[in-house]
A and B are shown apart, each in its own frame.
Chain A
């Protein structure tokens, strides 16, 4: 190898190595930048999800506080007033022969019913009671009340003493159930409702079936209307918050079956 040949060869070799380093550098920079960008996007998505979760949590806390104060108000104010009215009626000096005796008896019966209904309503609103008696008992109580109202035919099959360890989650799960029940009555216009609450493995499964008009789940979920499907989305968000899964099986004219699985 003569000197000029050697020099040329060295130029080619160095050029090759420099080019190799350059390619490596470009590829590494692109890869690193892209990875950083992806990580940033991931962090942003996580922050957004956390923010949404916090929002929902605050919303539920506010709702819970409102219901609690409403229950308190009903119990302490209207409940007391009704009790006073009941006592006042009881001490009225009217004997059996008095012409007002019969209507008064009806009024007393209605008043008693109003007091009982008010007490039941208060119990349903009060979250402390829900956590105290447990999820299955609260659901049973809600269904018995609904049955008494004779609005719909209610059937239920509930495992006894199902306790859900987390108190906050119990309240949220019960509120979801109340919302589902409300949907069946208000939107589905159901005449028959079947509810089952069972322990399956390490989770509680709540199934609510109705014979209502059903709906198109896909359409509801992907609706561009700002209000359509909002309740449904809210239900799914609440379920997500407590780590539960909601599954809808419904079609127009074929009723609705909702199952909610709550892991312990």
Chain B
């Protein structure tokens, strides 16, 4: 939350528009600008709502749910195993269907159960992707693999953010000091996350392909 996050996403989006549609890039990377645009619009909208002192938790509930579906879609493009692909599609359907519960949920607090299940799914499938890389090792240089950077970014944001977001509701009435400290932590998480996302489409230009 905050304008600086909007700026980070905007910068990443501009960079992605320059690099994602080049010939060298694979098809998965081409979806990144669309995903970033979605994030930018939602984050900006949340910022506007927040500035009007209105609650943002319900928007975050929808946003988290749809984001998890998108993360899973990206991972389904990255893994090789057809069986796991099918399981991921089923997970996407399941996550999407939980939107119904959010619609009928009258609480305006952040739905940590939805978040935790989604984050766990993303973490599991990211680790599976890493295992696949471990087993197959087909790429000559992993550092030039967009999928590897994307999986690292997703794994990082969900593992590191797990505690932060799962305990989110405990901090609703926290003191200003605690909220400031948490904001710093969240900023660090976002900076690193978008840096990793940027690496997914810049890696082919930064590292040498053997």
Q: Using a CB–CB distance below 8 Å, which chain A residues touch chain B?
A: 1-2, 5-6, 8-9, 11-13, 15-16, 19-20, 22-23, 26-27, 30-31, 33-35, 37-38
Contact B171 A8 (CB under 8 A): yes
Q: A11, A26, A31, A37: which contacts B163 (Cβ < 8 A)?
A: A11
Q: How far is the CB of B62 from chain A (nearest CB, A)?
A: 24
CA A12 to CA B162, docked complex, whole Å: 9
Q: Using a CB–CB distance below 8 Å, which chain B residues touch chain A?
A: 127, 130, 133-134, 137, 139-143, 148, 152, 155-156, 159-164, 167, 170-171, 174-175, 177-178, 181-182, 185, 189
> Knowing A12-B167, A12-B182, A16-B163 touch, does A26 contact B142 (C-beta < 8 A)?
no
Contact A1 B155 (CB under 8 A): no
Contact A2 B163 (CB under 8 A): no
Between A and B, 13 residue pairs with Cβ closer than 8 Å are A1-B178, A8-B167, A12-B167, A13-B185, A16-B160, A16-B161, A19-B160, A22-B159, A23-B159, A27-B130, A34-B137, A37-B137, A38-B141
Contact A23 B164 (CB under 8 A): no
Contact B163 A15 (CB under 8 A): yes
CA A23 to CA B154, docked complex, whole Å: 10
Residue from the set A31, A34, A35 with the largest chain B CB neighbour count within 10 Å: A34
Contact B133 A19 (CB under 8 A): no
Cβ of B174: which chain A residues have Cβ within 8 Å of it?
A: 1, 5
Q: Which residue of A lies closest to B130 (CB)?
A: A30
Cβ of A1: which chain B residues have Cβ within 8 Å of it?
A: 174-175, 177-178
CA A26 to CA B129, docked complex, whole Å: 11
Q: Which residue of B lies closest to A1 (CB)?
A: B177
Q: How far is the CB of A18 from chain B (nearest CB, A)?
A: 9
Known: A26-B155, A38-B137. 15 other contacts (CB 8 A): A1-B174, A5-B178, A6-B178, A8-B167, A8-B178, A11-B167, A15-B162, A16-B189, A20-B160, A22-B159, A27-B130, A27-B155, A33-B137, A34-B142, A38-B141
Q: Which residue of A lies closest to B127 (CB)?
A: A26
Contact A34 B159 (CB under 8 A): no
CA A26 to CA B158, docked complex, whole Å: 14
> Knowing A2-B175, A8-B170, A12-B167 touch, does A34 contact B134 (C-beta < 8 A)?
yes
CA A108 to CA B178, docked complex, whole Å: 117
Cβ of B139: which chain A residues have Cβ within 8 Å of it?
A: 34
CA A9 to CA B155, docked complex, whole Å: 22
Q: Which residue of A lies closest to B160 (CB)?
A: A19
CA A19 to CA B134, docked complex, whole Å: 20
Q: Which residue of A lies closest to B174 (CB)?
A: A5
> Knowing A12-B167, A26-B127 touch, does A19 contact B182 (C-beta < 8 A)?
no
Cβ of B133: which chain A residues have Cβ within 8 Å of it?
A: 30, 34
